[in-house]
Each structure stands twice: as structure tokens, then as C-alpha cells.
């Protein structure tokens, strides 16, 4: 497995100073399939301290155990779809899902049973870790062209549903971040957000401007939830003003081999934690035949 890395200098660490640790975000696109392809070997070799998994796509009984980790899971109620988990070295001090703690923000109740969000308070760090699988969405009606889409035109229904989620989740995220701060904890949001923010985050960004995941309103939303006083895009902070690192490549065609992809997997951290980020690594397999998923694991080391 090859890796792309970016590192930071020795910037000051702020008040969150309880030792170094690593955090991974990985959309496995079906945990059972990923394990057949070698996920457990990857986990043992990389050994991150915290792992956020998205798209488990299985029943609760099929999640299984992860050697050396405690798994906090929300499968959701839609059989074979979605599902999120956070793996930690110790039992978390608290676990919250939308099944057990209904989202307060208006517009999110329709998503509460879908297995899209889980949040834990770590027992060994003053940190709240949130893990999100954001709806993929679709195109607005005016951009849908029959015959040029993989799916049948839906009049913008999936686009509208994603917009409702974005509006509600921005409010929910603000509440959760503030709650962590009041409890003396830093906060980090991991996950597949199904949005690429900047031109550096998409290989063919000009064509992508009319694709779901890179629409102007989606990019604007991403900019609104991030910032130096809110949540910091840790990967972009470390990578700087350079293309990549990409985290998703289509299964179709030669996109993986030609490295034509998107950065839709993210780690967004509160400023004090973001200042501790030292290295970002994307574990891209050396060949398409060895892929664990259509995404690659995104790992950040915090010092």
C-alpha cells in the first residue's frame, strides 16, 4: 500500500496537550467486503488510535469485533445501507447516536434512523470525536439531462434532500461543538462528507462544477462550517495550496490508475487540536486489484 503524506512544522500546540495520537477516517463501502479484501490487516498494520468508519452496509450482527478496539456503532434502520462506527482503544466515556439522542436541529429528524452520525467522548483524551456519512445527494432539476446521467432524472428530489440535511446539520454541528467546548473538550468531525471544497480537491474541477459534491452551494456550505475560529480543515492546513490529497476514485474505468479522483473524506478539528496536526497520510493501494474500498483511509497524526 502506498501513501501520500504532508507534514507540518513545529507550531505551538495550544492547551490540548495530553500526548500524541492518530486518527483515521475510512469509508469502507461495506465492512464485510472490506474485511475480505484485507481491512483487518490494514488496521493491525496502521494501528490508529481512533478510527471513524462509514458505509458499514450490514446488519448489527455482521459488524464483528476489531482486535484491540472497542466499536461504537450505529447501523441505522435501512438494511444494507449507510452505517457508521468509531473504533477506540478504550471504552468511550460516552456514546451518542441519533437513534439514542435525537438531533435537535430542525430538518434532521428524517435522517435520524439512517445510521449517519455517531459521536463519542474519549476516555483517554479531552476530545469529542464525531463521525458522519453525509448523503450523496444529486443534481438540481435544471442541471439534470436525460441520457447523460447514471441515474434516472428525479426532478431534483435527492438534491433537495441533501440541502435540507446541510441546513440542519450546520446547526447541529454548531451545537455539538459548543457542547464539547463547555465540557472542556476539543472536537473533531470525521467522515465522508460527499463534498469537495476547493479546486485542489478535484482532479477535473472545471467539469465537476456541475456535478453533485462540487456544486457552488455545497462548497459554500463547507466554507461556512469551517474557519480559523470554528473547525479547521486539517488536511488542507497540512497540504497547503497544492492539489490533493485525493481520497476517492470511481470503481469504473481507469480513474484509480490515472489518479483521477476527489477529496471528499475530511477531518475538521477545533483550532487548538488542528494546531497539533503533524502529518496527513492517504493510504492509496498500489493497484486497483488491491483496493479495500472506492475510498482510501485518511490518517492524521496529532502531536
Note the pLDDT tens digit of each residue in 72-102: 999 999 999 999 999 999 999 999 999 999 9
C-alpha cell of residue 219:
462548497
The rounded distance, in Å, linking the Cα atoms of 54 and 25 is 8
Provide the total of helices (H) and of strands (E) in the chain, helices listed first: 7, 13
Q: What does the pLDDT read at residue 97?
A: 98
Note the pLDDT tens digit of each residue in 17-32: 458 999 999 999 999 9
Note the pLDDT tens digit of each residue in 251-280: 999 999 999 999 999 999 999 999 999 999
Question: SS3 of 187, please?
Answer: strand
Q: What does the pLDDT read at residue 13?
A: 36
Query: Where exactly are the structural domains of the chain?
Result: 2-135+164-302
Q: Which residues contact 222 (CB under 8 A, 6 or more apart)?
A: 193, 195, 197
Q: What does the pLDDT read at residue 146?
A: 85
Backbone φ and ψ of 48, nearest 5°: -65, 155
pTM of the model: 0.94
Taking only the tens of pLDDT, the chain with its 303 residues reads: 666 778 775 333 334 445 899 999 999 999 999 999 999 999 999 999 999 999 999 999 999 999 999 999 999 999 999 999 999 999 999 999 999 999 999 999 999 999 999 999 999 999 999 999 999 999 999 999 887 777 889 999 999 999 999 999 999 999 999 999 999 999 999 999 999 999 999 999 999 999 999 999 999 999 999 999 999 999 999 999 999 999 999 999 999 999 999 999 999 999 999 999 999 999 999 999 999 999 999 999 999
Share of the chain above pLDDT 90, in %: 91
Q: What does the pLDDT read at residue 1?
A: 64
Burial label, 101 (beta-carbon count in 10 A; 0-12, 13-18, 19+): middle
Q: Looking at domain 2-135+164-302, which CATH architecture does it have?
A: 4-Layer Sandwich (3.60)
Amino acid at each position: 500500500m502506498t501513501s501520500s503524506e504532508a507534514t507540518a512544522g513545529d507550531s505551538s500546540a495550544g492547551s490540548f496537550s495530553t500526548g500524541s495520537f492518530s486518527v483515521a477516517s475510512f469509508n469502507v463501502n461495506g465492512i464485510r467486503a472490506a474485511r475480505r479484501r484485507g481491512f483487518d490487516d490494514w488496521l493491525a498494520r496502521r494501528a490508529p488510535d481512533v478510527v471513524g468508519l462509514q458505509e458499514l452496509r450490514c446488519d448489527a450482527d455482521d459488524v464483528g469485533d476489531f482486535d484491540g478496539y472497542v466499536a461504537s456503532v450505529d447501523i441505522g434502520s435501512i438494511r444494507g445501507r449507510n452505517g457508521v462506527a468509531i473504533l477506540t482503544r478504550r471504552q468511550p466515556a460516552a456514546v451518542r447516536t441519533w437513534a439514542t439522542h435525537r438531533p435537535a436541529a430542525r430538518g434532521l429528524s428524517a435522517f435520524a434512523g439512517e445510521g449517519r452520525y455517531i459521536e463519542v467522548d474519549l476516555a483517554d483524551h479531552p476530545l469529542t470525536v464525531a463521525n458522519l456519512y453525509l448523503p450523496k445527494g444529486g443534481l438540481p432539476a435544471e442541471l439534470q439531462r436525460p441520457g447523460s446521467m447514471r441515474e434516472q432524472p428525479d426532478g431534483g428530489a435527492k438534491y433537495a434532500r441533501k440541502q435540507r440535511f446541510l441546513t440542519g446539520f450546520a446547526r447541529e454541528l454548531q451545537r455539538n461543538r459548543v457542547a464539547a467546548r463547555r465540557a472542556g473538550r476539543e472536537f473533531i468531525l470525521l467522515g465522508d462528507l460527499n463534498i469537495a471544497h476547493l479546486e485542489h480537491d478535484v482532479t477535473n474541477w472545471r467539469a465537476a462544477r456541475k456535478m453533485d459534491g462540487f456544486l457552488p452551494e455545497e462548497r459554500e456550505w463547507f466554507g461556512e462550517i469551517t474557519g480559523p475560529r470554528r473547525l479547521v480543515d486539517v488536511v488542507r492546513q497540512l497540504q497547503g495550496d497544492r492539489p490533493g490529497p485525493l481520497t476517492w476514485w470511481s470503481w469504473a474505468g481507469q480513474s484509480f490508475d490515472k489518479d483521477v479522483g476527489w477529496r471528499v473524506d475530511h477531518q475538521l478539528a477545533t483550532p487548538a487540536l488542528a494546531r497539533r496536526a503533524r502529518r496527513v497520510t492517504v493510504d492509496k493501494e498500489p493497484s486497483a486489484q488491491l483496493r479495500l474500498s472506492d475510498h482510501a483511509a485518511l490518517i492524521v497524526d496529532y502531536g
